[in-house]
Structure 1
Amino acid sequence: MLPGKLAFVTGAGGGIGRAVCHLMAREGATVVAADLNLNNVESTVADLTGTYAGKGHKSYQLDVSNTESVSSVLKQVFTDYSAPPTVVVNAAGITRDNFMLKMSVEDFESVFNVNVKGTFLVTQTICKELVEKNLSGSIVNIGSIVAQRGNKGQCNYAASKAAVEVFSKTVSLEMARYNIRCNTVLPGFTVTPMTEIIPDKVKEYFKSVIPLNRFAESDEIAEVVTFLASEKSSYITGTSIAVSGGF
């Protein structure tokens, strides 16, 4: 679905981001993988290089919440590949869960800095380059089903993902004239390092209220992300797709 495409994926060191990298490489893309954890993202690219040799996949250490980091890393990417990525997946995200009455300002702000500011910085920087080079593109941002429902203990995370969803819709309106699409995928509870820390009792409760009675696998989220990144979704923009097992 992505032959010859250059794809930039944040949060590529694990979870959904890593699954997206693998699927996009399988579908013919050259993957530019970025993550704050350098060891993890290097591991992702080592897997890609071993399986899909000769594709030019590279890893970069990136703090999406830091303006200078985003600027310098993407400038290097533009130089290394002599072009900006035309596929962008903002999968970097963190949680700092606590009940609202107990949540610190620092934990509230840190989640917004990564999940919202990080998505903005990467999207803005790459879109500027795409517009300057007169290139079309597809941006896929990772939201969450809790953005539409709220969730106890996640007032910061749920609010940040709601912001990502509305940000994406606005980007789609502004960038449509340049043939740059922007959509959001809303995963439900997914088997990732982020959900591994959830107590078993809580996991079992959520499984019981999910119609499909299980958590998603990261690959199932990656399939929808890759579809939205490809030309198979060429008339889809400003849309949010829930991948939540009916939750």
Structure 2
Amino acid sequence: MKGKEWYQADDVAQEYDSKRFSRGGRLIDHREKQAVLDAVGPVEDKDVLEIACGTGRFTVMLAERGADIVGLDISRAMMQQGREKARRAGVADHVEFLRGDAARLPFPDDHFDAVFAMRFFHLADTPAKFLAEMARVSKDVVFFDTFNDTSARVVYNWLLPMGSRLYGEEEVDGLLSDAGLKLTDATHDFVLPYGLYRKIPNGIAGELRGFDTSVGDTPLGERLASVSYWSASVLTDD
């Protein structure tokens, strides 16, 4: 996986949330959490798996809504941050953090009601293998996001410490088909890149967000969107 060593560093884990989701980054955090909630639906008493759970932003959020959730990640330092969040939120008994390999998930077939991954596929060296494993262990919902190859991400992608894999709609369609998944919904967002939001105060970011969403609602804006959210269901033999 790209940036494996960087991602697992203790100082990266400690500063991850504050660097990405403060200031205008709060808008990104809110949008991503809403995307997850829209995809997985009501989660009370459901078994959910989050792949690449990182510091537990989504893991803890879903546990607070009644899910029994496993957060899988490669970074012990990131998961330690997540465990502390779960403890502070009073949901530690509904969350299990597990270090593991997304290409070989340690769960039986059809084990979870929903499986999702956020901020993961841009780092994935073998996306087909990862998506096939997500589909294998899910009874129904599979959800993930990608960064897009027709967006501003192309311009500044080289500046990232590990680089990113960018996707087009045709490639995602092929990955879904090969994994035995049926696309149920796709939304495209953030014409303005994430990095811009993180650099400015939240108030100014809110004004820019209004412009961003108005442009994003057009055919051109959809094509230039930085990120896409993909919801799919597992195909059955019925």
SS at the partner of 2:165? helix
Gaps of 5+ in 1: 65-69, 95-110, 215-223, 230-235, 238-247
1: CA distance, partners of 2:128 / 2:100: 14
TM-score with structure 2 setting the length:
0.52
Please give the alpha-carbon distance, in whole angstroms, between the structure 1 residues aligned to 2:92 and 2:158.
44
Q: Is the 8 A contact 1:49 1:57 kept in 2?
A: no
Does 2:128 correspond to 1:125? no
- Quote the Cα distance in structure 2 between the aligned partners of 1:28 and 1:12: 17
User: Please, which of 121, 124, 130 is the counterpart of residue 115 of structure 1?
Assistant: 124
- Taking the TM superposition and a 5 Å limit, the aligned residue runs for 1:45-194 are 45-53=83-91, 55-62=93-100, 64=102, 70-71=103-104, 74-75=105-106, 78=107, 84-93=111-120, 114-115=123-124, 117=126, 119-130=127-138, 135=139, 137-144=140-147, 146-150=148-152, 151-154=154-157, 160-163=165-168, 165-173=169-177, 175=180, 186=188, 188=190
Paired position in structure 1 for 2:48:
7
Provide the rounded CA distance (Å) in 2 between the counterparts of 1:211 and 1:49: 33
Aligned in 2, Cα 1:161/1:89: closer, same or farther, shift over 3 Å?
farther
Q: Which amino acid aligns with 2:146?
A: G
Residue segments in structure 2 that go unaligned for 5+ positions in a row: 1-41, 213-227, 234-238
| Aligned residue pairs, count | 172
Q: How does 1:157-236 map to 2 (within 5 A)?
A: 160-163=165-168, 165-173=169-177, 175=180, 186=188, 188=190, 195=195, 200=199, 210-212=208-210
CA distance in 1, matches of 2:188, 2:100: 23
Residue identity over aligned pairs, in percent, reads: 7
Cα distance in 2, alignment partners of residues 13 and 87 from structure 1: 18
Normalising to structure 1: TM-score of the pair? 0.50
